Chains A and B, each alone.
Chain A
């Protein structure tokens, strides 16, 4: 659709159509005509570029250098990456922990969000609002997940220890978050508790856009139960939300570092819950090894983008 106004067409000295111009000329003309759009975009995209896009690009550059913030960076190519994968055992632990964390929390939180949203969709609006709040509240409540420490307190005042002692399953209280065997599963549970976030709301919103007529038509056409209805009608209709929700869930599943730090301390016992995020924090935020931390950051960046693109591809198959 051409957005050229009638007034412009009438006042133009000679009528110029798009066909008369090269792609370049046309682009320049369109840019001039819409210069106001660039003014409108400028504040947001300037800040966005300065604090989000730029840093990613610069991290890639720094990751190939040795840089101590004082002298100018020296190119060393893959030295940082080699050091990461060959010399740094903690990093390899962090990579595997990150994958365990993400592979569990990502899909579980995604499907929990989807199914809970779907299950509550048929409730009356008032009740649905309350139920939504119950499921969503943990994700927006800041540091409230600290309460899990009270449940899993290390002495016998903790509920978990109390119950287990009482039942005779254990004889001594377990220091849950200081025990390499338990810290990771517990952090995953707490992370899942806070994980019904943006994607959950997106699914609730998406489900409300599927028109009732389609379900009736489906029932007439031989949809036998709710599961068929979900697969053949609901999911194909809310594919855009499924994709957005997946992106939010994946990004979230790589970003649970703060919860682990809060619950398990930093570094966690025996690095049992040490993730790439923590490794980055260690070298970037505390040791200020800029180039090494940049390599870590860039690997993390690639993992996150890779996971997203992969899932995006899988999701495009839904309902086909």
Chain B
């Protein structure tokens, strides 16, 4: 460059150009947006801890004077008194979430490994299909799926929820991308030369290298299944989920804000806790999520 730049340095390192005004503006923007994001969550938790008289206090308050666990107790009591025992709803949700996630992990990781690491005819097509599937919402498949389910006799069984989850694409896509960038072909090649079968290479070499992607797939699959509410495939009350039961309490008008928010908070705690534990792994996986044109 013709013009000599005056570089700011600190400890012999170039300091990036950051204006104070910009920092301030960004901070203000983040604080306002953060408040918008955080306040409803905060308010839900506060509301779930309010005793009855504070719930109905006028004007409504943004804090709680005497926190109580009554709303939670009342929610569990309402659920226990319902026709189907409360434990059954939880059992259903846990069963669906665990079976669906496990199957998605097994099927998805095998396919991700094959598509990203074995050079077979058709891999491009399969890979493109997965990418295209991310471009539309699964609702469009709903009508035909209902007919398929009835042909298979899966309507009103757990299978109608569990099996389609095994073929869900987001987790598989993220795992495929992660394998492409994090598992070196040379490592796999030397394993193959040593006589390891593809299954062995997959299990002992590739899979241990992509643990963050496992966790990401598990988190997304689990989150989706955990939030399964009412489904058109399930009619029997005994097979319905925790989320469905909670929605019934909320809309049933048994008790207004208190119990309903307690229920929503219970639903929220599980996925949020899972995310807190796995955050660094998810971000690591996401760093390879990109698509080439």
Contact = CB atoms under 8 A, between A and B. Distances in A.
Interface of A: 1, 3, 5-7, 27, 30-31, 34, 36-38, 40-41, 43-56, 58-59, 62, 69, 112, 115-116, 119-120, 129, 131-138, 140-148, 150-151, 156-159, 162, 166, 193, 196, 198, 201-202, 204-206, 208-209, 215-216, 219-226, 229, 238-244, 247-248, 250-251, 254-255, 257, 277, 280-281, 284-285, 290, 293-294, 297-298, 300-301, 304-305, 308-309, 312, 316
A255 to B, nearest CB: 4
Interface string B1-28: 1010101000001111111001000100
19 contacts: A5-B192, A53-B133, A59-B141, A59-B144, A119-B29, A129-B279, A137-B272, A138-B40, A144-B264, A147-B261, A206-B290, A221-B1, A225-B19, A226-B16, A238-B290, A241-B290, A243-B290, A308-B135, A316-B293
Interface in B222-271: 223, 226-227, 229, 232, 243, 246-247, 250, 257, 260-261, 264-265, 267-268, 271
The size bracket of the interface on B is 35 or more
A37 B285 contact: no
Contact of A143 (B121, B267, B288): B267
A102 B5 CA distance: 45
A136 B274 CA distance: 13
Interface of B: 1, 3, 5, 7, 13-19, 22, 26, 29-30, 33-34, 36-38, 40-41, 43-44, 47, 56, 58-60, 106-108, 110-111, 113-115, 118-123, 126, 129-148, 163-164, 166-167, 169-170, 172, 185, 189, 192-193, 197-199, 202, 223, 226-227, 229, 232, 243, 246-247, 250, 257, 260-261, 264-265, 267-268, 271-272, 275-276, 279-280, 282-293
Contact of B140 (A7, A48, A59): A59
B38 A134 contact: yes
Given A44-B166, A241-B286, A304-B135, 16 more contacts: A5-B192, A7-B193, A40-B113, A43-B107, A51-B167, A56-B136, A62-B143, A135-B33, A141-B271, A142-B227, A151-B40, A166-B59, A219-B7, A240-B290, A240-B292, A242-B290
